[in-house]
Amino acid sequence: MEQHSVSQENQGKKTPPIQKKPVKQKFWKKLNFQKYLFVYVCLLLPLIFYLGIRILPTLFTFNVGFREWNLLSTEAQPFVGFDNYVTLFKDEVFIKSIVNTLIYIVLGVTGQLVFGMVVALLLHKINRFVGFFRVIYFIPYVTSIVAISWVFQWILMGNGIINDVLVKLGLPAQPFLNSPDQAIYVIIGAMIWQSIGFQMILFLAGLENIPDSLYEAADIDGASPWQKFWRVTFPLLNPTIVFSAVIGTITFIQVSFTQVVNMSMDGSGGPLNSTISVVVYIYQLAFRQFDMGLASAATVILFLFILGLTIFQMKVLTKKFDY
Residues lying near another protein in the complex (CB under 8 A): 59-60, 62-63, 65-66, 70-77, 79, 153-154, 157-159, 163, 167, 173, 175, 177-180, 265-268, 270-273, 284, 287-290
In the complex, minimum distance from the CB of residue 4 to another protein, in angstroms, rounded to a whole number = 38
Task: With beta carbons less than 8 A apart as the criterion, state whether 238 and 264 touch.
Answer: no
Q: Whose Cβ is closer to another protein: residue 11's or residue 87's?
A: 87
Q: Which is nearer to another protein, 157 or 201 (CB)?
A: 157
Residue 167 Cβ vs another protein, minimum distance, rounded to whole Å: 5
Helices (H) and strands (E) in the chain, counts: 15, 0
Q: How many CB atoms lie within 10 A of CB 323?
A: 11
What single-letter DSSP state applies at residue 262? Answer: H
Q: For residue 236, which phi and psi values (nearest 5 degrees)?
A: -80, -15
**Which amino acid is it at 81?**
G
- If the CB atoms of residues 71 and 103 are measured against another protein, the closer one turns out to be 71
**Which CB atom, from 89 or from 229, has the smaller least distance to another protein?**
89
The minimum distance between CB 236 and another protein, in angstroms, equals 22
Q: Please, what is the minimum distance in Å from the beta carbon of residue 113 to another protein?
A: 24
Nearer to another protein, 196 or 279 (CB): 279
Q: How far is residue 235's CA from residue 37's CA, in Å, rounded to a whole number?
A: 44
Three state DSSP letters for 1-59: CHHHHHHHHHHHCCCCCCCCCHHHHHHHHHHHHHHHHHHHHHHHHHHHHHHHHHHHHHH
Go through 221-231 and write b for each residue having 16 or more CB atoms within 10 A of its CB, e for each that does not. eebeeeebeeb
Cβ–Cβ under 8 Å, residues 30 and 50: no
Q: How far is the CB of 73 from another protein (least distance, A)?
A: 4
**Closer to another protein by Cβ: residue 32 or 77:** 77
Residue 67 Cβ vs another protein, minimum distance, rounded to whole Å: 9
